Amino acid sequence: MIRDGDVTVNGRVIRELGTRADPVRDHVKVRGKLIQRPRRIEHWVFNKPVGMVTTMSDPERRPCVGDALGESHAFLFPVGRLDFHSSGLLVLTSDGELCDRLTHPRYHIQKTYRIKVSRAPGEEGLRRLREGVRLSDGMTGPARVRLERQAGGKAWLDITISEGRNRQVRRMLDAVGLRVEKLRRTAIGPLKLGRLSTGEARRMTASELASLRQSVGL
C-alpha cells in the first residue's frame, strides 16, 4: 500500500492524487527506490558483417551485433536473423509491435539478397527458383530471381522472397545445385541497405520508418 510521502518526483514529495510526471525526463521514486525509466522507441539500420551472430550478446563470446553497437544500444533487439556467414541489412528496434509484424508470416514482407554463386544457373534452375523449390520443410513460395552478371565462371543473382525460414535462400540454391559463396541482404520491404558501410549503424529516417510501418499495416 502506498502511503502519503512514499512517492517523490525529482525529490519533491507527492501528496496529491493525479499528479503528473514525465516518465522519461523525471526521476520518480517509490519508498526511495528509483523507478526504471523506459527507453524511447528507436529504430536503427545496421550493415552486419560476415562472422557475426545476430544477437545483442553471445554466451560463446562470438562477435555479435551488441558488440558493434555498444552498451548504449542494449535495449534494441534485432528483427529476424542473418546467419553467421551472411552480411547485409539488419533492422534493430525497441518497438515490439513493429518487430512482430515484420517477422510474422501473414505480412509477407519481402527480403532481397545479392548472392554470388559458384557457377551460372541454367534456365531450369532459374525456373524452379521462380516457381518454388521443395525443401525438407515443404515447398517454398515463388521467388523473384534476376541473373545480374557472370564473370570468371561465377554468377551474381538478386533474389527476393517473402518467407522467413531458417537459411532459406541458401537451401533453395543448394536444392538447384548452386553453392553460395557470398550472401548479402540488400532490402527488407521498402527499406534499402544503400551505401551504409559494413559494420556501421545509423538511425532510420522518418520517411523510412513511415514506409516500413505502412508495409505492415501500422
Q: How many CB atoms within 10 Å of residue 54?
A: 19
Q: Give the three-class secondary structure for 130.
A: helix
Q: Residue 151 to residues 119, 120, 156, 174, 185: CA-CA distances in angstroms?
A: 9, 9, 9, 20, 21
Cross-strand bridge partners of residue 131: none
Print burial letters for 115-143: b (CB count within 10 Å at least 16), e (below 16): bbbeebbeeebbebbeeebeeeeeebeeb
Question: How far is the C-alpha of 45 from the C-alpha of 35, rounded, in Å?
Answer: 30
Please give the C-alpha separations between residue 108 and each of 2, 17, 44, 103, 217, in angstroms, as whole numbers.
Answer: 48, 47, 21, 9, 12
How far is it, in rounded angstroms, from Cα 195 to Cα 188? 15
Catalytic choice (58, 83, 158, 174): 83
Q: What angle do CA 26, 29, 31 make, to 5 degrees?
A: 170
Is residue 6 part of the annotated active site? The answer reads no
The residues assigned a catalytic role are 83
